[in-house]
Amino acid sequence: MEYIVKAKCYHNTLGLLHEGETVTFTKDEVDEYDKDYFNSLFEPVGDASAEVEPAEETVEETTPKKRGKKAEETAE
> How many domains are there within the chain?
1
Is 68 within a domain?
no
pLDDT of residue 50: 46
The answer to whether the beta carbons of residues 73 and 32 sit under 8 Å apart is no
Is 2 within a domain?
yes
Is 11 within a domain?
yes
pTM summary value: 0.56
Maximum distance among all alpha carbons in the chain? 69
Is 28 within a domain?
yes
State the first-to-last Cα distance of the chain, in angstroms, to the nearest integer: 61
The answer to whether the beta carbons of residues 39 and 6 sit under 8 Å apart is no
What residues pair up with 5 in beta bridges, in sequence order? Answer: 42
pLDDT of residue 57: 52
Q: Could you report the per-residue pLDDT of 39-57, keeping only the tens digit for each?
A: 999 999 976 544 445 555 5
**What does the alpha-carbon distance between residue 41 and residue 39 come to, in Å, rounded to a whole number?**
5
Q: Which residues constitute the domain of residue 40?
A: 1-48
